[in-house]
Amino acid sequence: MKMRIYFPGGKKVYAEYKEFTIRTDQPVKEGGGGTDPAPFDLFVASIGTCAGIYVLGFCQQRGISTEGIEVIQSVVKDPESNLIDRVRLEINLPSDFPKKYKNAIVKAAELCTVKKHLENPPRFTVVTT
């Protein structure tokens, strides 16, 4: 799996991956134009959206409507390191959601591949060519 990263101007950094261009920019207060999410924002969003795809798949496999279901993600940073200390995913379910699936939908969200990679992080190598 390869991704091409390039710099279209200003504080923008884009990534070409498969048939997509993933666009990032820095906030105005950090010298960017604020036109796209910052890279860190995409990282954090990948956690919630990954859990969300597992919630969606769980419901679709069982014919359960996703209307009224949402995942609320909260991120708490360590004040000393300014790194993420905790991530909390709260799955809000409508009152008519089948009670027998409440624990199972949590287990489904916990299957998130992004979460699994954070629990067992890859090694990084940075080189020049």
Range 96-125 average pLDDT:
97
Output the average pLDDT for the chain.
Answer: 97
Instruction: Give the pLDDT band of residue 12 (cuts 50, 70, 90).
Output: very high
pLDDT in tens, 52-103: 999 999 999 999 999 999 999 999 999 999 999 999 999 999 999 999 999 9
How many helices (H) and strands (E) would you count in the chain?
A: 3, 5
Chain mean position to CA 31 = 24
For 126, the 3-state DSSP assignment is coil
Q: Where are the domains of the chain?
A: 38-119
Instruction: Say what the pTM is.
Output: 0.90
Quick one: pLDDT at residue 77?
95
Quick one: pLDDT at residue 76?
96
- HSE-CB of 62 using CA atoms within 13 angstroms: 17
Residue 112 near residue 51, CB atoms below 8 Å: yes
CATH number of the domain at 38-119, out of 3.40.50.2020, 3.30.300.20, 3.90.980.10, 3.60.40.10? 3.30.300.20
Cα-trace Rg, the chain: 18
